[in-house]
Amino acid sequence: MDTHYIEEEIPGGVSLKMWTRGVPVEDEAKKQLANAARLPIVFKHVAAMPDVHLGIGATVGSVIPTLKAIIPAAVGVDIGCGMMACKTTLRAEDLPDNLAPLRAAIERAVPHGRAPGARDPGAWSKLPGSVETAWAELEPEFTELCRDYPKLEKTNHRNHLGTLGTGNHFIEVCLDEEGAVWFMLHSGSRGVGNFIGTMFIELAKQDALRHDVHLPDRDLAYFEEGARYFGDYVRAVGWAQKFARLNREVMMRRVIEAAKTVLHKNFQSHIEAVNCHHNYVQKEDHFGTEVFVTRKGAVSARAGELGIIPGSMGARSYIVRGKGNPESFHSCSHGAGRVMSRGEAKRRFTLADQRAATEGVECRKDKDVIDEIPMAYKDIDAVMQAQRDLVDVVHTLKQVVCVKG
């Protein structure tokens, strides 16, 4: 049978189905996927998206369905990380020739980056009203979690709600194929989510040692239903995923308000809006069986469901509609996928390379963002071609402004 995926049988495990025709995959990533496929809790097969690459704990771009168990390291530490995009009534011609003031207004409106000490530019020192209101939705459940895990209270939680973070997180102003203006951003559950992820990954490893569980990789330690920490993890990860979704909504509102102050135009936003996780776990029904599906660097692509596949700085991004392919567990890629580490990108490319790659985009052009250069990623066109049976492209977006953490 002609398929769009490559299937590999894994001795002592379920098979791998990889949507990687025409895109590179490192051997280390394949080994990591094979280790996941050997776990006794994995259902049917492991799916790998075309942006698949070696990850910390588990493979980025993997979709792992599990029976009555969850692998905390497969979800990772940036729980609920994902994308939000909003189409507006603005047109390309409504944007000024000089986009620097728009970028500066967005940078003022949303805390971003990170610095040690009390004056962290990536956190709120005084919470705006919109953040207080959003936090009120999260606080009751958070208070309950703190009763069981008091250290959570000392993390960055409310002061990180509505903030961007660092690394590959960004806020962009984009134009689609018809000249409509979109706002798009990428962030997750920030400090508190990182703490929850890190804590439960460690607890899972300790649990595996205590019960002498044989694992192909210690990072793949899991909690089974009924086990000591299973219920707590499900509660905590669910809360962190809510935080992440709300974090993006709060930021988006602030970005839109900031844009209105600079553009002096009253425009409508949310004409089309998408808010999707790409690092998360949830219960779903596949092949007639209820399973936990962990998408680590993958987006849900049920039939008719909208998702976001971003390119890196200076590359195209896509709003897509899922085709509901059962073999991928209704999933698609979450981006282009790295072909080299951040360190390797900084060694290989220069500031001149970064400036050339982001020509025409109002963004940072300094040594600290060289690791986000498009050449450090797979070719987005090849990635999209490899998953044409998973999604249809609805809109193609090109950045004109990019704010980095």
pLDDT (tens digit per residue) in 24-61: 999 999 999 999 999 999 999 999 999 999 999 899 99
Q: Is the pLDDT of residue 1 over 60?
A: no
The residue annotated as part of the active site, out of 4, 45, 334, 395, is 334
Angle at Cα 59 formed by Cα 55 and Cα 63, nearest 5°? 145
Q: Are the beta carbons of 277 and 241 closer than 8 angstroms? A: yes
- Interval 299-320 mean pLDDT: 92
pLDDT for 373-395, tens place per residue? 989 999 999 999 999 999 999 99
Higher pLDDT, 270 or 253: 253
Residue 5: left if φ>0, alpha if ψ -120 to 50, beta else—which one? beta
Predicted structure pTM score: 0.96
CATH superfamily of domain region 6-339+377-404: tRNA-splicing ligase RtcB (3.90.1860.10)
Say whether 334 is catalytic.
yes
Residue 83: left if φ>0, alpha if ψ -120 to 50, beta else—which one? beta
Task: Give domain limits for the chain.
Answer: 6-339+377-404
**What percent of the chain is helix, strand and coil (3-state, nearest 5)?**
35, 25, 35
